[in-house]
Amino acid sequence: MNVLTATKGKILWVDDEIELLRSHIMLLSEKGYTVETATNGEDAIGLVKSKSFDLVFLDEMMAGMGGLMTLSRIKDIRPDLPVVMITKNEDEGLMEEAIGVKISDYLTKPVNPSQVLLAVKKFLERKKIAGAQVSRDYIKEFNEISLALQNNLTSADWAAIYLKLVDWSIEMDQHPELGLKQTLSDQTKECNVEFSKFVERNYRHWLEQEKRPTLSVDIVERYLIPELRDTSKSVFFFVVDCLRLDQWMAMETVLREYFDVTRDHYYSILPTATPYSRNSIFSGAWPAEIEVRFPEIWEQWEDDDNSRNRYEHQFLDNLLERRKIQLKPDSKYIKILDAEFGRSIDQNILSYAKNRLTAVVVNFVDMLAHGRSDSQLLKEIAPDEAAYRSLTTSWFMHSSLFSMLRTLSRQKHVSIVLTTDHGSIRSLRGTKVIGDREASTNLRYKYGRNLKADERHAIFVKNPSDYRLPKRSVTINYLIAKEDYYFVYPTDYHKYLNQYRDSFQHGGISMEEMILPVVKLKPKQ
């Protein structure tokens, strides 16, 4: 077999005493690597210009052009080329200088064969070795999840399974060469089939039970009020609309530099849509109870998030009053709908730290989900869940939300609770729905008269009170989509089927929409 095609990588070793290193070079050759040598910096730079190398070993002390100068010149030519510096000098200042010019690693003379081989594997075979381990671990996890689906799973079990799937999805982003993304996607779909059955069997019972998974109505009671009982703290309550667990996990990685993060998971109520789930968070009440107190919320036939969520501050104050939580000064409520307003709040965020409680609703992620449905450009930028997650992370890194959190992380007496009202799912399968003219236009849930859809694809709620939903009128029913289905009317069926396929929607039953993060952020001092 040709040595060149069989090589595991090409290495350039630069040392003015290269003959003393022949045993190391022979070992690397025996292990399948191609090694070229140079005895001075000038020759090394010429080789880097003319040939393609995967790794450079570079002596720090050489006659003529020294190691640091050679390193700098190599990086000018190939910024991405990893360079391992070999030195007798363990001076901290020298190491800092080398790191400053982007050294990848260093070894201290005299080097032994195992050190050299380990360094080579680290840079040339790390991805391959890690990929092989990832493949083994995922296949093991795949089998364990498949077996678990045959058991009588609890709500906690489902949250754990979904978290594993999210972790693997993020891991697979780093190893696209493994070809396991489709396998993971298929398993996630299989899980959503069983999860939808689980919710259909258990959801109505949750509404009547004290011992149930944490739902939207429980968030303030279980997470916010305990923080408010400590009167020495200024509490911030952030609700990021339409934030999926996988999007949060990417954001959490960034925030761990600034905070100690405690993450739990809860279930959104149905439908997983802002007028229902977020109102329930702030009021601690079911939508049917809200209808009794505020019937005007449901007077309009179409769901409008802005109009139907205009009472959130009032809901929150009323809930705290019922729980005998007295705040002086009064609570503050902020809804961020655009970047300019977000920047103005960011600039003044410390002024809100004088209050006992500040609630902040951030709408960007929801706007991104809806915007992607209407924008071919956004669909090209975020063609799948991984890219959508990456786009959300990019927004977060440059957002007023991240800036606010960083500012608050430097405050001693600040406590932060962060959550979301619902997630979203990439809707890939349409299902026909029939209803009267006044039926709502939502793609993942509908309410109206004479609604009909395939029972395999949706839950039919004949009596809204069974799900503690607004009655609106005597004859109103609800449909709630399962898995990744979205509703399409028979009229112009194929037009709208194609228009909304592969859009991120919410309102239905899926792990992505229902299993959500609720997080406490404690500033690192």
| Residue range 99-154, pLDDT digits in tens | 665 788 888 888 888 889 988 888 888 777 777 888 888 899 999 999 999 999 99
- Is the pLDDT reported for residue 97 higher than 90? no
- Is the pLDDT reported for residue 503 higher than 50? yes
Q: How confident is the model over 189-201, as a mean pLDDT?
A: 97
pLDDT-derived band of residue 3, with 50, 70 and 90 as boundaries? very low
Which pair of tokens denotes residue 37? 């040598």
| Residue range 321-341, pLDDT digits in tens | 999 998 888 899 999 999 999
- Is the pLDDT reported for residue 524 higher than 70? yes
pLDDT number for residue 441? 85
- Measured CA to CA, the distance from residue 152 to residue 202 in angstroms comes to 12
pLDDT-derived band of residue 2, with 50, 70 and 90 as boundaries? very low
Do 309 and 359 form a contact (C-beta atoms < 8 A)? Answer: no
Containing H/E element for 12? strand 10-14
The DSSP 8-state label assigned to residue 441 in this structure reads -
pLDDT number for residue 243? 97
CB atoms closer than 10 angstroms to residue 465:
11
pLDDT number for residue 302? 54
pLDDT number for residue 28? 92
CA atoms within 13 A on the CB side of 300: 11
pLDDT-derived band of residue 303, with 50, 70 and 90 as boundaries? low
> b/e per residue, 143-170, with b = 16+ CB within 10 A?
eebeebbeeebebeebbbbbbbbbebbe
pLDDT-derived band of residue 4, with 50, 70 and 90 as boundaries? very low
Give the alpha-carbon dihedral of 3, 8, 13, 17, to 10 degrees: -60
Residues 6+ apart with CB under 8 A from 68: 60, 97, 98, 101
pLDDT-derived band of residue 280, with 50, 70 and 90 as boundaries? very high
Domains of the chain are 3-111 (3.40.50.2300), 126-206 (no CATH), 216-425+513-523 (3.40.720), 427-504 (no CATH)
CA atoms within 13 A on the CB side of 287: 24
Q: Residue 264's closest CA among 155, 403, 146, 399?
A: 155
Can you list the alpha helix ranges (DSSP code H) found in 101-180?
113-120, 126-148, 155-173
To the nearest whole percent, how much of the chain has pLDDT over 70?
A: 94
Name which of 94-103, 220-229, 235-244 the model is least confident about: 94-103
- Is the pLDDT reported for residue 467 higher than 90? yes
- Is the pLDDT reported for residue 5 higher than 90? no
pLDDT number for residue 101? 58
- Is the pLDDT reported for residue 42 higher than 90? yes
Strands 425-427 and 503-505, by their bridges, are antiparallel
Do 259 and 404 form a contact (C-beta atoms < 8 A)? Answer: no
| Residue range 375-393, pLDDT digits in tens | 888 888 888 999 999 999 9
Do 239 and 419 form a contact (C-beta atoms < 8 A)? Answer: yes
pLDDT number for residue 293? 84
More confident residue, 56 or 439: 56
